[in-house]
Amino acid sequence: MKASLYPEEVLCVWAALRFKRATRWISSRGEDFLAASHGRGATSEGTLGVDADGRFLALRASVVSPLGHWLPSSAAIPAWNAGASCRAATGSRRSIFVQVLKPPTRRRSGSIAVPGARRPTA
């Protein structure tokens, strides 16, 4: 598991210090899928304004990136990158509004930054 400090890792360190023995956490594939953060789950919706010649005039976007049942240290990075990439992609001073929503959810793990993930999936 990457990119965050997980509660299981803290428990292992505590147990090793408490019992003065080597400890390790071994999760099943199902446990890891439910508990580990992942790079999926962000959704985006947008409206693009163009003139009669097809030139870009305005962009309005809403990005939702769930934080999950606990807050991983890098949970806000995908949402932040989504807004930043939309702003940087235009290269001009047009009208751009990007609303980034990060609702906490209790029944799933959070979306985090993963290596190679630069923009939200369509």
The Cα 3–Cα 112 span in angstroms is: 8
Report the range of poorest mean pLDDT among 43-47, 105-109, 118-122.
118-122
Which pair of tokens denotes residue 78? 């995908």
For 26, 27, 35, 37, 60, the CA distances from 30, given in Å and listed in that order, are 12, 8, 9, 13, 38
Same domain, residue pair 101 and 46: yes
Closest CA to 41 of 105, 98, 115: 105
If you compute the radius of gyration of the chain from its CA atoms, what whole number of angstroms results?
A: 19
Looking at residue 116, its pLDDT comes to: 56
Q: How far apart are the first and last CA of the chain?
A: 25
In a domain, 121, yes or no: no
Q: Which residue has the higher pLDDT, 49 or 80?
A: 49
In a domain, 119, yes or no: no
Print the domain residue range for 15: 1-36
Looking at residue 59, its pLDDT comes to: 79
Opening angle at CA 100, ends 48 and 71, nearest 5 = 155
Same domain, residue pair 30 and 50: no
Domain total in the chain? 2
Share of the chain above pLDDT 90, in %: 11
Same domain, residue pair 47 and 100: yes
Q: Note the pTM of the prediction, 2 decimals.
A: 0.47
In a domain, 79, yes or no: yes
Same domain, residue pair 45 and 32: no
